[in-house]
Amino acid sequence: MYNKVLPLKFKSGASEQDIVSFEATHRLKKLRQAITGFIDYEIPPLHDITSVHDRLQKSALVETLQYNYMGHLLRAPNDPLFPDQWHLNKIKADAAWDITTGSSSIVVATLNTGIDWDHPDLDGVIYHNPGEDAWQTPFNPSTGNGMDNDGNGFVDDWRGWNFLDNNNNTDDLCPRHTRTLTAGLALAGRPNNRLRLKRPACIHICSDY
């Protein structure tokens, strides 16, 4: 894809008068000149870039003429398993990632039956309740201080709350970790790897509804 600018280099024999006349004849607006001798010209409004290019190319004064191609940064992951995840293509996730990949300042609550706390693709993005003291052992909910530090009615809910068993264990106990997958579809903190979870955000797990 290219815009309405044509980089052009005149032949060494072109005089200043020749160039001024050329610019006036073709109604070109000079934008800038590089040390390489190329001059960026903006073509007249409403003119077709291809037609103008072909017309200028025929001039005996022109040595080199090219389109001004526009590049776009793409955020599709280089994860080799990405093509296998049909749902991401279905919702055009890569197009959305070109606009934004989320923000760590946003907390997302998921209602499900737990999450694999030490999954490599979620490491570093799982929310920790700042009002509660951290567990002595990060993956052991029984190592909290046994207190409701933030006064919200849930003791040691440092990693969320299990509303089914009424405790603070929100680990994914499902053998196939389908609940972890559910969270990973929308969240995940490692965009380029070999795992089947995608894309960043901050996550707060409210498990076992």
Among residues 194, 35, 58, 207, the alpha carbon closest in space to that of 119 is found at 194
Please tell me what DSSP assigns to residue 44. P
Among residues 181, 174, 50, the alpha carbon closest in space to that of 110 is found at 181
Instruction: Give the residues across from 171 on adjacent strands.
Output: 115
Please say whether the dihedral angle defined by the alpha carbons of residues 125, 126, 129 and 132, taken in this order, is positive or negative.
negative
| Residue ranges per structural domain of the chain | 5-65, 74-209
- Mean pLDDT by runs of 10 across the 209 residues of the chain is 83 94 95 93 89 94 90 70 77 79 75 77 79 90 93 92 88 65 62 45 37
CB-based contacts of 124: which residues, under 8 Å, 6+ apart?
189
Question: For residues 104 and 98, what is the distance between their CA atoms, to the nearest angstrom?
Answer: 17
User: What is the per-residue pLDDT for 63?
Assistant: 96
User: What is the per-residue pLDDT for 197?
Assistant: 43
Q: What is the CATH number of domain 74-209?
A: 3.40.50.200
User: What is the per-residue pLDDT for 178?
Assistant: 58
CB-based contacts of 147: which residues, under 8 Å, 6+ apart?
133, 155, 156
∠ CA 139-145-146, rounded to 5°: 105
Measure Cα distances from 5 to 64, 68, 124, 158 in Å.
14, 6, 45, 56
